[in-house]
Amino acid sequence: MGKKGSISPVDLKVLLPDREVVTVTMKKNSNTEEVYFAVIDKIRMSKSVAKYFYLFEIVEYNFERKLQPSEYPHNLYIQNYSTATPTCLCVRKWLFSPACELTLASDEQATTFIFWQAVDEVNRGHIHAEDRLYQLKAQQDSSRKHEYLRLARELAGYGAVVFPHCSCDSRKEGHVVASVGSSGFKLQACREDGVMQPQVVHFSWSIIKEWEVDDDSMAFCFHYQRPEKNPRWVKIFSPYVSITTSYALQFVVLVNLFLISLTYTYWTVSRGYWRKANGQIQANDMQPAASHPVHLPSDSLCRRPSPTQQWNENITLTGAATHHP
């Protein structure tokens, strides 16, 4: 693309959580930060609230990928152009602390956005409404958003991020759906086409001892130990967790974020990215005035397993029961 073409203005449509579409006029070479700031300026969102939302790419399987600040949304816009959908770009919440979320209750716009995202996640089945679904449906109106959110926050799956289904070394047949949330890391069995099956295994953060990202096999590997049980390794294979892909940052940051309950280490990352160094996953480019808070674990939780450790111990995703530590 020539210099003149790079700076020529284009219209980018961005889907908001309330299902409205906003259009911003940008240069083709505008990065994510520039586009996002243009969006929040257009919708008049305060900067104090804007740090809890960000720009995402609508990918597949009801999944949105958080864009990195240095990406070029126009490139994604062109690559994913479809007459079936108005855009592949959207604004979504990037906030995982219920206490912090409650501080936004006085902001009408923020609460409306959080409400509609919760509605979306209930409809997808990511928030497990079960026998409370009728009650939620009765309150599914923006005028009752506070009541809706009060109930939704009590349900399993609220605030968790669910990733597209992928293969796992513990499943000879079928796939798993990985989700990352404040209560832990969950793997739900599914068929290779993504159709859900009842088997679920749950790993609380307290039993996950260490983890690593295996670039060669595009896998996320974690070591866990339940009380009075032998330690075991689990390996899931997905382009969404490989550190070499643009999808990885979202997954790795989330794993680190929820480990804060064990490590009490708090950092903020403005334009950070993840790398391997001396066998550890680290975050680069730390800034004291970050716009998007991220929690990082202590080094002890990022250790690479020794070369002698083998993947010969697997969890079992059989039976209909949900297993907890």
For 92-145, write each residue's pLDDT tens digit: 998 888 888 999 999 999 999 999 999 999 999 999 999 999 999 999 999 999
Name the pTM for this structure. 0.75
Q: Give the CATH number of domain 161-323.
A: 2.30.29.30
* Burial (CB count within 10 angstroms: exposed 0-12, middle 13-18, buried 19+), residue 47: exposed
pLDDT-based confidence at 289, cuts 50/70/90?
A: very low
Residue type, 110: A
Beta strand pairing status for 196-203 and 322-323? parallel
> How many angstroms separate the Cα of 102 from the Cα of each of 84, 184, 200, 238, 280?
36, 21, 30, 34, 34
Reading the block at residue 129, the tokens are 């409404």
Residue range 228-257: mean pLDDT, rounded = 70
Tokens 């974020």 identify what position? Answer: 257
Query: Burial letters for 183-197: b for 16+ Cβ neighbours within 10 Å, e otherwise?
Result: bbbbbbbbeeeeeee
pLDDT at 6 over 50: yes
CA 23/CA 96 separation, integer angstroms: 28
Q: Would you kindly state where each structural domain of the chain is located, as residue ranges? A: 8-93, 98-152, 161-323
Residue 277 has pLDDT above 80, yes or no: no
Residues 12, 39: contact at Cβ < 8 Å?
no
How high is the pLDDT of residue 102?
94
Q: Specify whether domain 8-93 bears CATH 3.10.20.90.
A: yes
Task: Output the pLDDT for position 256.
Answer: 64
For residue 302, what pLDDT is reported? 33
Q: Do 8-93 and 161-323 share a fold?
A: no
